[in-house]
A and B are shown apart, each in its own frame.
Chain A
Amino acid sequence: MAIVTLQNVTYKYPLTEAPVLQNVNLQVNEGEFVAVIGPNGAGKSTLCYTLAGFVPHFFKGELTGIVEVAGVETHQSSLNEWVLNVGLAFQNPFNQISGAKYTVFEEIAFGLENIGVPRGEMKPRVEKALALTGISDLADRSPYSLSGGQQQRVALTSILVMEPKVLVLDEPTSQMDPIGTREVFGVIRTMAERGMTVVLAEHKVEWIAAFADRVVALKDGQVLLDGKPGEVLTSPLLEEAGFGISRYTSTARKAKEMGLWKKDQLPVTLEEAVEGFRS
């Protein structure tokens, strides 16, 4: 069942001339993990803001079409109600961390305080969330004393702890080390398996292929491709349109021209590449 529906959505920021999203149609089912890819400026962040209600409630501007999440239409709702259903982790954690809290533990509790969760319930929820993302050891540190990647884990945790129905993530691992990135993708996958719906804007194609259910490719504010990771991420359209693709895909494509790759299907993940080059 669709929990997110975008119907003919077009959006223009207040001071820009051209729309950033153009006639976007998208449905996401409950518990689905959808990755959104696209070059910078394609509209990925704006799509995240739209799902999270920041467009139009915070940024204003002109939004036409229908945006419906968990049965509520964005124009008929306020941001205060909206955040109970949808959580957004920002691309840059500096923009998200409140600045009002001395420790990571308090920072994670901040959202729960704001929606009036009782103190006795708050503590175990924060502890559980810290353990889930592997930052229990940072609980007593100041959010500002952390490295970029650690701050990103804090930003993600402070959204997860709210247990939103729909989790929207805007490049949540951009400053993380490679294995940390893989771990966080694993955490996101686990949340999806527990029934949380995930929409993730991301450039890291290899991990999208390994963890996401579906990939939407955005270009100039429009949906270029929408389908299974193996189909979308190996489409020849991507490279032409300036998308990043996996080295496994680009190398196998070249190898195919040279007669060194025999299969029709190109690989996106390491496992697929290993299997294909062995046969």
Chain B
Amino acid sequence: MNIIIRDLRFTYPTGLEALRGISLTIAPGEQVAIVGQNGAGKTTLVKHLNGLLQPTQGSVHIGDWDTRQHPVSKLAVRVGYVFQNPDEQLFSQNVGMEVAFGPKNLGYPAEKVDALVKDALALTELSEKTETNPYDLSSTWRKMVALASIISMDTDIVILDEPTTGQDAVNVRRIAHVIAALRERGKTVITITHDIDFCAENFERVIAMSQGQILLDGPANEVLGQEEILATTYVDPPQLTRLGLRLGLKETVRNQEEFLTAIRK
């Protein structure tokens, strides 16, 4: 299902204008990363996709639904949202109950709930931890529980707010694996991230935001090579892209394979 955002503006009750005219279409199954400086409006934008925030002006459509005409509880059938901080999201006694909470609330029959929970736990490598209280797990695994509890809702659209924050290399790879699996299932994945190397290695489309507006939007290689424009929103290109630029490589490279191929020429 398409996401269509038309001239979206949003002003917080404090008077802070956080979004200043955003227009955007995201097709089904796209993997999109949103980057940009702190306070650029990234989280404010994605909170409009599941109705947590309502446009001050303009509109947001999830498929044929206008978010102003559907409550958050209904939008949850279509859009799953994994919070930046798992502790804002977890409350159940054990991992299994936590992951079952979402699909149960969507009213799915018990068998379907069981199947969805099992699948989400397997994908996030939590199958052994079903009986554990989420708060007895390390922050690394609590992040995976938060992820699993959204995956189990089987929504067409999954939003991840800073999935790799504070995660080590092993868990970043685990998260990349989950995103790849969602891609294969045809899910739309929208990720906010400051981890630009992670962004380069896992996303095909990149949107750079600055001061409530879209600065750049396009294929990852096009966007990530724009060093000067990205700097205006406090983003550096990925490490290997910067190296390629400094070495004067003709094409923009964004991962090891592309870099090594380019310098062999």
Q: Which residues does A use to contact B, with CB under 8 Å?
A: 38-41, 91-92, 94, 145-150, 171, 174-182, 203, 206, 242-248, 250-251, 254-255, 258, 260, 270, 273-274, 277-278
Contacts and interface: CB of A to CB of B under 8 A. Distances in A.
A92 B168 contact: no
Contact of A174 (B43, B165, B171, B235): B165
Interface string B147-183: 0000000000000001001111111100000000000
A190 B246 CA distance: 27
B260 interface: yes
19 contacts: A40-B166, A40-B170, A92-B85, A94-B85, A147-B39, A148-B165, A149-B39, A150-B39, A176-B194, A177-B235, A178-B196, A180-B38, A242-B169, A244-B168, A250-B256, A260-B264, A274-B243, A274-B247, A277-B263
B253 to A, nearest CB: 10
A177 B85 CA distance: 17
B166 A39 contact: no
B101 interface: no
Given A175-B162, A177-B234, 6 more contacts: A40-B167, A91-B166, A94-B85, A178-B194, A247-B238, A254-B260
A179 B243 CA distance: 16
Given A248-B239, A273-B243, A277-B247, A149 B38 contact: yes
Contacts of A40: 138-140, 166-168, 170-171
Contacts of B246: 270, 274
Contacts of A92: 85
A244 B169 contact: yes
A171 B166 contact: yes
A148 B168 contact: no
Contact of B16 (A145, A176, A179, A277): A145
Interface residues of B, number: 42
B98 to A, nearest CB: 20
B24 interface: no
Given A277-B243, A278-B247, A147 B38 contact: yes
B20 interface: no
A260 B265 CA distance: 11
Contacts of A179: 37, 231, 234-236
Nearest to B256: A251
B197 interface: yes
Nearest to B44: A147
Interface string B36-47: 111100010000
Contacts of B239: 206, 246-248, 270
Contacts of B259: 251
Nearest to A42: B168
Contacts of A245: 169
A147 B170 contact: no
